[in-house]
């Protein structure tokens, strides 16, 4: 059986120039191991903006349906784990890059990559979180696994006004941590404090220092920036603190020494939300529907219609994005 769908795809011409557009596609019914999903919502992430504008070499194989997230309802299933009517969420696994993604009314995906939508969370809430929210939750989850407790000092969240940062502040504050928001957008102080930040650190006024060990300031950190900021964090986290490294907005290098690790015993946690093992993925999504459920998603998320999608990318590339952009695709 054939299904017609409207999708937003990335193209590359003979001169390797990237463009993106709404296209009509025809999908065949799923075969064994596949599931056809009616997409209700997707979201916009920095990686989506890079892919759809060609500002970054993200997409492999053209044309490619963009969108690294989706949440929706199963229409047809070629896998015993899912049946028509089941609500599901998908993030990661290179969708929107080397596999077709979520910017489509109907998506045919591998059942192995789906997570059943946990009770206690809606499809809209799932995409208000999306990859950014899952990354933030995985960061908090990993910090707690290495015994970072609220009495160990404030947790610094870098890139605080972005999707990961905004949700990380909400989650940490909800778990009883004192949260410090690290940002250059001090005009967003009221927004950050409404999410639960108790202090805002202006990165433009901060002296990073250069000694192998600086004064301990933080019980831990969720870092979306990398480069000099992450190096500074290794020097300023308190003894036996930990850093969840989940982004590279500031660069990919890390120039530090072993001293924070062998003198203060700090832990550097790598956060990979793309290929996170399914048992951990399901556990984190269950927590997002339970004890880690954000309190301020309506403040963080802005919902736009599918046809408004192309207008959203510029704010990511310019670094003016605040919170999350959710794309309403279906009913």
Same domain membership, residue 11 and residue 73: yes
Kindly state whether residues 197 and 154 are assigned to the same domain. yes
pLDDT tens-digit profile, the chain (331 residues)? 899 999 999 999 989 999 999 999 999 999 999 999 999 999 999 999 999 999 989 999 999 999 999 999 999 999 999 999 999 999 999 999 999 999 999 999 999 999 999 999 999 999 999 999 999 999 999 999 999 999 999 999 999 999 999 999 999 999 999 999 999 999 999 999 999 999 999 988 888 888 999 999 999 999 999 999 999 999 999 999 999 999 998 899 999 999 999 999 999 999 999 999 999 999 999 999 999 999 999 999 999 999 999 999 999 998 888 999 999 998 7
State pTM to two decimals: 0.95
CA distances from 192 to 149, 310, 322 (A): 22, 27, 10
The pLDDT of residue 91 is: 97
User: Do the domain assignments include residue 100?
Assistant: yes
CB 241 within 8 Å of CB 266: yes
Say whether both 204 and 303 belong to one domain.
no
> What's the confidence (pLDDT) of residue 215?
95
User: No. of H helices and E strands in the chain?
Assistant: 9, 16
Let me know if residue 291 belongs to a domain: no
> Are residue 104 and residue 159 in the same domain, yes or no?
no
Classify residue 82 by burial, with Cβ atoms within 10 Å: 0-12, 13-18, 19+: buried
- Does residue 225 share a domain with residue 150? yes
- The span from the CA of 153 to the CA of 134, in Å, is 24
What DSSP string describes 153-178? -PEEEESTTSHHHHHHHHHHHHTT--
At 300 the pLDDT is: 95
Whether 156 and 239 share a structural domain? yes
Q: How far is CA 153 from CA 170, 188, 220, 246, in A?
A: 17, 23, 7, 20
- The SS3 call for residue 59 is coil
| DSSP three-state, residue 189 | helix
At residue 32, the pLDDT reads 97
Distances in whole angstroms, Cα of residue 98 to Cα of each of 58, 68, 92, 113, 321? 9, 10, 11, 14, 26
Distance in angstroms (rounded) separating the CA atoms of residues 99 and 10:
12
pLDDT value, residue 319:
86
| Judgement on whether residues 37 and 164 belong to the same structural domain of the protein | no
Q: How many structural domains is the chain composed of?
A: 2
Structure tokens at 65: 């349906």
Kindly state whether residue 290 falls inside one of the protein's structural domains: no
pLDDT of residue 208: 85
Query: Two tokens at 19?
Result: 């463009």
* Domain interval for residue 219: 131-270
Specify the CATH number for the domain of residue 84.
3.90.180.10
Residue 264's CATH number: 3.40.50.720
| Pair 163, 193 in one domain | yes
- CA distance linking residue 142 with residue 137, whole number of Å: 9
Residue 1, pLDDT score: 81
Q: For Cα atoms 283, 38, 167, give the angle at the middle one, nearest 5 degrees.
A: 40
Instruction: Give the C-alpha separation, 323 to 161, whole Å.
Output: 6
Contacts of 185 (CB under 8 A, 6+ apart): 161, 322
């Amino acid at each position: 059986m054939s299904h017609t769908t409207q999708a937003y795809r990335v193209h590359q011409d003979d001169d390797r120039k990237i463009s993106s557009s709404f296209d009509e596609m025809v999908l065949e019914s799923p075969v064994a191991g596949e599931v056809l999903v009616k997409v209700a919502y997707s979201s916009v992430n920095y990686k989506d903006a890079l892919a759809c504008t060609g500002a970054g070499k993200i997409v492999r194989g053209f044309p490619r349906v963009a969108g690294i997230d989706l949440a929706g309802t199963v229409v047809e299933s070629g896998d015993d784990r899912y049946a028509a009517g089941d609500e599901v969420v998908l993030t990661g696994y290179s969708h929107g890059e080397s596999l077709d993604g979520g910017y489509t009314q109907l998506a045919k995906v591998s059942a192995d990559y789906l997570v059943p939508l946990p009770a206690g969370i809606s499809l809209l809430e799932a995409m208000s979180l999306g990859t950014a929210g899952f990354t933030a939750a995985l960061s908090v989850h990993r910090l707690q696994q290495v015994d970072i407790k609220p009495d160990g000092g404030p947790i610094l969240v870098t890139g605080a006004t972005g999707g990961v940062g905004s949700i990380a502040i909400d989650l940490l504050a909800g778990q009883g941590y004192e949260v410090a928001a690290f940002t250059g957008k001090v005009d967003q102080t009221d927004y950050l404090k409404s999410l639960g930040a108790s202090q805002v650190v202006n990165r433009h006024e901060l002296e990073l220092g250069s000694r192998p060990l600086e004064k301990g300031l933080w019980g831990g950190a969720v870092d979306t920036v990398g480069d000099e900021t992450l190096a500074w964090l290794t020097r300023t986290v308190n003894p036996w603190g930990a850093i969840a490294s989940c982004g590279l907005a500031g660069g990919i290098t890390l120039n530090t020494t072993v001293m924070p690790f062998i003198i203060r015993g700090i832990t550097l946690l790598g956060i990979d939300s793309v290929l996170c093992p399914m048992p951990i993925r399901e556990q984190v999504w269950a927590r997002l529907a339970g004890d880690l459920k954000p309190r301020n998603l309506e403040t963080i998320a802005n919902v736009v219609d599918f046809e408004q999608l192309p207008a959203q990318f510029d704010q990511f590339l310019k670094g003016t994005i605040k919170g999350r952009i959710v794309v309403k695709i279906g009913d």
